[in-house]
Structure 1
Amino acid sequence: MKDFATSDSAAVQAQLDRLAQLTVPDGRLGLETMRALLARLGNPEKALPPVFHIAGTNGKGSTCAFLRAMLEAQGYRVHATTSPHLVRYNERIRLAGTLISDDRLAQVLEEVLDIGFDLEPSFFEVTIAAAFAEFARVPAEACVVEVGMGGRFDATNVLQPAVLAACGIAALGIDHERFLLAPEDGVPANPMARIAFEKAGIAKPGVPLVTLGSAYPPQAQAAIAEVARTLGALLFEAESREWASPLGIPGRHQVQNAGLAIAMLRHQDKVAISEAAMQAGAASARWPARLQRLSPGPLTGTREVWLDGGHNPSAGAALGEHFAGQRLHLIMGMLANKDPASLTGPLAENIVTLSAVPVPAHDYHPATIFGPQARAIADVPAALAALPDDGLPVLIAGSLYLAGEVLRLNAELPD
Structure 2
Amino acid sequence: MHDEMVLSGARLVLAGEVVRGSMVLRQGRIAAIDAGPVGRSAAIDLGGDYLLPGLVELHTDNHERHAMPRPGVQLPVWSAVQAHDAEIAAAGITTVFDAIGVGDPYQRGFRGRDQSEMLAVLDALDEAGVLRADHRLHLRCELPADNALELFAPYDDHHRLGLLSLMDHTPGQRQWSDLRRARAYFIHKKGWSAQQFDQELERSAHPDAQRLARIESNRAAFVAAARRRGLALASHDDTTPAHVDEARALGVTISEFPTTLQAAGHARAAGLLTVGGAPNLLRGHSHAGNVSVAELVAAGQLDILSSDYVPGSLLAAVWMLAREDAAAPADPRRLPHAVATASRAPARAVGLDDRGEIAPGLRADLVRVREVAGRPVVLGVWRGGRRVG
Q: Give the TM-score normalised by the residue count of structure 1.
A: 0.29
Normalising by structure 2, we get a TM-score of 0.30
* Greater per-residue helix proportion: 1
